[in-house]
């Protein structure tokens, strides 16, 4: 940890790449593991354009459930440490960007400013007809979803007709809205940011969801210091310089706390 903090204190441009693990201690279940099921479905099988095409009512129920759950969750010490570090470093002319695979907005709510959401977020909708993208925090997002979306394995499929699912409010459109889904929504971001990456650390991602998974080993191979914070070893741990095993809410605040040399500046 001391060696990491020493290196970190010298870094001017820092990327924090986060996945589901950074929000686990806020009570948001990760996809892999016990929390990964909704009804009898694997969460990652429902968050796709194919699943939406097959059964938009079911996918909306799943998103409705997660939107409502998020309203009761709050940022944990890892989100807060990252946000506070961004603010502190800004005053020193140093910069942090958070690239997150998460869709829960907890980085934003913790106060991070410089955030790129690779998969959009739970509160962003896209019109399947006119492609309009909007932030929508209505609870419920439409009357037909009220009381629906129960996660229990035996909960019935609500089979809501498309006309009663969330619809586009753009004048004259009324197209079916869909949530932001896994796939290619925001991945253009990676291309532009990859060029700017000077320093890189990674927090709580299992490094198995591509394309985000490949970045940490890639930058590490270029000699950039990379630290991984995870409960366990991942497929890329061996190729990274630092690995801090344990809860992000414990290790990230220690890692990002002000270094002695900063106080001298």
Q: Can you state the angle between helices 2-10 and 248-256, rounded to 10 degrees?
A: 50
CB 248 within 8 A of CB 229: yes
Please say which residue, 61 or 104, places its beta carbon nearer to ligand NAD. 104
Please say which residue, 160 or 240, places its beta carbon nearer to ligand NAD. 240
Going from the C-alpha of 70 to that of each of 109, 166, 206, the distances in angstroms are: 11, 19, 22
Query: What is the C-alpha separation between 112 and 178, in angstroms, rounded?
Result: 27
Residue 130 labelled as part of a binding site: yes
Residue 111 labelled as part of a binding site: no
Give the range of 17-25, 68-76, 167-175, 219-227 binding Zn ion by CB under 5 A.
167-175
Residue 63 labelled as part of a binding site: yes
| Of the candidate residues 1, 3, 90, 130, the single one contacting Zn ion (CB under 5 A) | 130
Catalytic: 13? no
Residue 153 labelled as part of a binding site: no
| Of the candidate residues 53, 54, 129, 134, the single one contacting Zn ion (CB under 5 A) | 129
Angle at alpha carbon of residue 109, lines to 209 and 17, rounded to 5° = 30
Helix, strand or coil for residue 258?
coil
**Contact flag: residue 134 with Zn ion (CB under 5 A):** no
Give the range of 75-83, 123-131, 159-167, 202-210 binding Zn ion by CB under 5 A.
123-131
- Which among 27, 37, 34 has a CA at the least distance from the CA of 75? 27
Please say which residue, 175 or 241, places its beta carbon nearer to ligand NAD. 241
Binding-site partner at residue 130 among Zn ion, ligand NAD, none, CB < 5 to 8 Å by type = Zn ion
Give the range of 92-100, 125-133, 144-152, 194-202 binding Zn ion by CB under 5 A.
125-133
Residue 172 labelled as part of a binding site: no
- Estimate to the nearest angstrom the gap between the alpha carbon of 44 and the chain centroid: 14
CB 207 within 8 A of CB 234: yes
Least distance CB 85 / Zn ion (angstroms)? 39
Query: What is the C-alpha separation between 259 and 88, in angstroms, rounded?
Result: 11
Among residues 119, 238, 243, 259, the one annotated as catalytic is 119
| Of the candidate residues 51, 160, 165, 168, the single one contacting Zn ion (CB under 5 A) | 168
Residues recorded for the chain:
265
Query: What is the C-alpha separation between 106 and 112, in angstroms, rounded?
Result: 9
Which residue numbers are catalytic?
Answer: 119
**Chain positions contacting Zn ion, by CB under 5 A:** 127, 129-130, 132, 168, 170, 173, 175
């Amino acid at each position: 940890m001391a060696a990491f903090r020493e290196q970190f204190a010298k870094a001017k441009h820092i990327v924090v790449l986060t996945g589901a693990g950074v929000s686990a201690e806020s009570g948001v279940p990760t996809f892999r593991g016990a929390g990964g099921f909704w009804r009898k479905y694997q969460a990652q099988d429902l968050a796709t354009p194919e699943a939406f095409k097959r059964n938009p009512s079911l996918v909306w129920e799943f998103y409705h459930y997660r939107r409502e759950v998020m309203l009761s969750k709050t940022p944990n010490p890892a989100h807060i440490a990252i946000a506070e570090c961004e603010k502190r470093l800004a005053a020193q002319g140093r910069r942090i960007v958070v690239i997150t695979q998460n869709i829960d907005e907890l980085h934003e709510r913790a106060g991070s400013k410089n955030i790129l959401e690779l998969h959009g977020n739970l509160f962003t909708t896209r019109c399947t007809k006119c492609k309009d993208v909007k932030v929508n925090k209505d609870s419920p997002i439409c009357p037909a979803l009220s009381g629906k979306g129960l996660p229990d394995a035996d909960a019935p499929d609500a089979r809501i007709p498309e006309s009663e699912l969330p619809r586009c409010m753009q004048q004259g459109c009324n197209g079916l809205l869909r949530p932001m889904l896994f796939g290619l929504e925001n991945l253009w971001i990676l291309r532009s940011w990859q060029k700017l990456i000077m320093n890189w650390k990674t927090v709580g991602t299992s490094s198995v969801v591509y394309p985000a998974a490949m970045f940490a080993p890639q930058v590490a191979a270029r000699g950039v210091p990379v630290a991984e914070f995870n409960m366990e070893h991942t497929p890329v741990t061996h190729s990274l310089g630092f690995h801090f095993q344990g809860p992000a809410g414990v290790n990230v605040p220690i890692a990002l706390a002000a270094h002695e040399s900063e106080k001298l500046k």
